[in-house]
Amino acid sequence: MLAEVLIQLVVVVGILLPVSIALFVGRERLVRTRSEWRTRLKTAAPTIAVLLVVLLINRFARQRAPRLSREIGFHLTASFYNIEGEFILLFQSIATPETTAYFSSIYVYGYVFLIVFPVLAYFTLPDTRMFRRLLTAYALNYVIGLVLYIFVIAYGPRNVMPADVAATMLFENNPQYQYLTREVNSNTNVFPSLHTSLSATVATFAAITRSTFPKWFPVAVALAASVAISTMFLGIHWGIDVVAGMLLAALCVVLSDRLVGRWAVSELLGERLERFEDRIPWLERSE
């Protein structure tokens, strides 16, 4: 079941990516990237490494975190529900089979596409700063998100008001997606909405780079807004989680600006790497 869902996801995103690269990036940048990719990769290597480490930690921590969370976390379902009550049910007023299908596919496919595409797009820029900032912001989202998941134990609206969101609930209509989501998350990790924060991060970067990728900007904003709404429409997140996700996104974008290039890690390490490579002949051998 998991394999089926994964294959579908890979196929859909696999089709969307080349199409959008053709649409938003353009041939010229691709050609240049072809000749410069090694130097760019080298400059960005430390950032890439940091992100990979974070993702790896995240992967393991998501399995361990629930236990730690039970020990030290705060149960906040009741507080969230007390504060916002049935707010997210507002979105049920636009529920039709079409909107349900739209938001379900946005939540699964749209989201993955939205966070993967800019990684490729920004890599085609000669200056790797934006690429590094994006990856740094992703890493920060995951790290801060994980810490909050440990401290906040909360169930999403679908677990509190199952019947009210049943018509649109993702897993109700497409139970197979649960095989995917349970791989990446537990049902007490709702605060903040990482779907929202990563999407909002992408949208903010799209705004920053709108002169470079003018056509991507409106698409990114529309997709990001759809993802944020989908999390509530599908009954997965509270409004509070979405707001927290947006704040987290803003924080991560600002921090990425402060952090990237600050210690010139890349240059420092870059030089060392070069020296290192000189001594290893097989690294020279490429293409």
Partner 1 sequence: MNWNSSPPDDGVSRRSFLAAGVTGATLATSGCIDRVQSVVDQGGDEQFSLSITTVPADADRQNVRIARRLEASLEKVGIDVSLDMRSQSELLEAVLIEHDFDCYIGRHPADYDPDFLYEALHSTYANEAGWQNPFGFTNMAFDTHLEHQRRTDGDERKRHVEAVLTGLARAKPFDPICIPEEHRVAQANRFDGWDEGHLATRHGYLGLEPAAGVDRLHALVTDSRITRNLNPLSATFRNRGTTIDLLYDSLGTEHGGDVQPWLAESWDIAETTAESDSETADEETTRTATITLREGCHFHDGEPVTAADVAFTYKFLNDTSWGRAPVRSPAPRYRGRADVIEAVSVDGDYEVTITASGGREAVKRAFTVPVLPRHVWLELLDQYATGDDFTAPQGRWAVVSGNNIPPVGSGPFEFESRSEDESLVLKRFEDHFTLRDGVDLPEPTVDEVQFSVDPSSNSSITRIEDGGADVTATMLSPHSLPTIPDSSDLERLRSPSRTFYHLGFNVRNAPFSNPHVRRAVTQLIDKEGIVTDVFYGNATPVATPVSDEWVPERLQWSGDDPVTPFAGADGDLNVEAAKVAFERAGFRYDDNGRLLGGY
Shortest distance in whole angstroms from residue 189 CB to partner 1: 13
Choosing from 48, 148, 161, 269, the residue that interacts with partner 1 (CB under 8 A) is: 161
Shortest distance in whole angstroms from residue 95 CB to partner 1: 17
Shortest distance in whole angstroms from residue 155 CB to partner 1: 4
> Is the separation of the CB atoms in 148 and 191 below 8 Å?
yes
Amino acid at 76: L
Q: How far is CA 89 from CA 131, 138, 179, 222, 230, in A?
A: 38, 30, 25, 21, 12
Write the binding mask 117 to 156 for partner 1: x where contact by CB under 8 A, - elsewhere: --------------------------------------x-
Tokens (6 digits) for 225: 């807004």
**Which residue do the tokens 């934006």 mark?**
130
Stretch that binds partner 1, among 20-28, 43-51, 114-122, 168-176 (CB under 8 A): 168-176
Q: Around Cβ 250, how many Cβ atoms within 10 Å?
A: 14
Specify the residue, 106 or 236, whose C-beta has the smaller distance to partner 1: 236
Residues 169-198, interacting with partner 1 (CB under 8 A): 171-172, 175-176, 178-179, 182, 187-188
Binding residue count for partner 1, defined by CB under 8 A: 27
> Is the separation of the CB atoms in 219 and 166 below 8 Å?
no
DSSP character string of 225-245: HHHHHHHHHTTSS-HHHHHHH
> Is the separation of the CB atoms in 256 and 133 below 8 Å?
yes
Write the binding mask 82 to 111 for partner 1: x where contact by CB under 8 A, - elsewhere: x-----------------------------
Instruction: Phi first, then psi: give them for residue 152, nearest 5 degrees.
Output: -110, 115
Q: Around Cβ 243, how many Cβ atoms within 10 Å?
A: 16
Strand residue runs (E) in the chain: 74-75, 152-153
Specify the residue, 33 or 186, whose C-beta has the smaller distance to partner 1: 186
Number of helices and strands in the chain (H, E): 14, 2
Write the binding mask 62 to 81 for partner 1: x where contact by CB under 8 A, - elsewhere: --------xxx--x-xxx-x
Shortest distance in whole angstroms from residue 18 CB to partner 1: 32
Shortest distance in whole angstroms from residue 226 CB to partner 1: 25
Shortest distance in whole angstroms from residue 74 CB to partner 1: 9
Specify the residue, 38 or 75, whose C-beta has the smaller distance to partner 1: 75
Tokens (6 digits) for 279: 């001594």
Specify the residue, 172 or 257, whose C-beta has the smaller distance to partner 1: 172
Q: Which residues bind partner 1 (CB under 8 A)?
A: 1, 70-72, 75, 77-79, 81-82, 155, 158-163, 166, 171-172, 175-176, 178-179, 182, 187-188
